[in-house]
Amino acid sequence: MKQDEALSALKSALGNPEANFRPGQWEAVDDLVNRHGKLLLVQQTGWGKSIVYFLATRFLRDRGSGPTLLISPLLSLMRNQIDSAGSLLITAATINSENRADWEGIKGQINNNEIDLLMVAPERLANERFRREYLLPMAQQTGLFVVDEAHCISDWGHDFRPDYRRIGRIIKALPPNVPLLATTATANDRVITDIVEQFGGGIDVRRGPLKRESLMLQNICLLDPAARLAWLADNLPGLPGSGIIYTLTKHDADRTADWLKQNGIEAVSYHSEVDTEGYRFASVSGATVAPQ
């Protein structure tokens, strides 16, 4: 694959004859397709991380490689990714709790090599049926392995999304020449080190500028939990719109949400033990509290 071929595909996908690669995009696609590299892309939201694995999928499939297996944390992201994949003539599918009626048809498409990209949530890796009927048949023919929102391996994997910790085992089961890609818009040095370890080392870390002009940061030193809760109760009512408060543990998330409600602030707690059936964050005008 040459750069002009990839650029032509990019222009077609975006429907823009003037489109061009952002710094680092072509180099990432080139490394995955032409050298079967192992990459961690740390780039800001909107940079175009998904276009990297879509283009790589398209060109790897054209070369006869197997389908891409993409680990993605949210159903809403999967739906958007399926729509975007179609612009590159990529046949994408997802297996999740909301489309059980489609599972058998998708399995047939996988067995017939008709799926270019399969998206699953990390929790699916813990499902015995999925591992037996879908993952094992794909393991030896996977053309590209992608972990989207890869910071979840470290930041959430120990507690909030523990199934992210299974990804390392999946990587070990893949043939050694399968290209690997992890993407995130937020990862400090500790998280990057954790991701590299999960990928088995030897991963090329590529970081772009993460500063966003639309974001502002402020640091306030409050020495104990009581002072933090008091500050929230005093200041949240004066802030516009809604927001998210991150806590260290699920217990802290529940306690903070209860405290805010006691002080007349509409709040809900969100973590792995919350029943999310019918959950609608859009209806919350105050704060959503979740563990980091």
What does the pLDDT look like over 231-290, one tens digit per residue?
999 999 988 888 888 888 888 889 999 999 999 999 988 887 776 555 554 433 455 566
**Token pair for 240:** 């516009």
Spatial distance between the Cα atoms of 19 and 56, rounded to a whole number of angstroms: 18
**CATH of span 3-207:** 3.40.50.300
Residue 101 — pLDDT band, cuts 50, 70, 90?
confident
Per-residue DSSP letters for 104-117?
A: HHHHHHHHTT--SE
Burial category of 84 from C-beta neighbours within 10 Å (exposed 0-12, middle 13-18, buried 19 and up): middle
* pLDDT at residue 75, as a whole number: 61
Domain limits, CATH 3.40.50.300, in the chain: 3-207, 225-291
Q: In what order do the strands lie in the sheet with 243-247?
A: 243-247, 287-291, 267-269
**119 to 31, 41, 71, 109, 193: CA distances (angstroms):** 22, 19, 6, 14, 25
Residue 161 has pLDDT above 70, yes or no: no
DSSP letter for 211, please: -
Yes or no: domain 225-291 corresponds to CATH 3.20.20.140: no
Does the pLDDT value for residue 157 go beyond 50? no
Q: Which residue has the higher pLDDT, 136 or 157?
A: 136
Residue 147: in which H helix or E strand, if any?
strand 144-147
Q: For the residues 7-35, what does the mean pLDDT come to?
A: 93
Other beta carbons within 10 Å of 81: 20
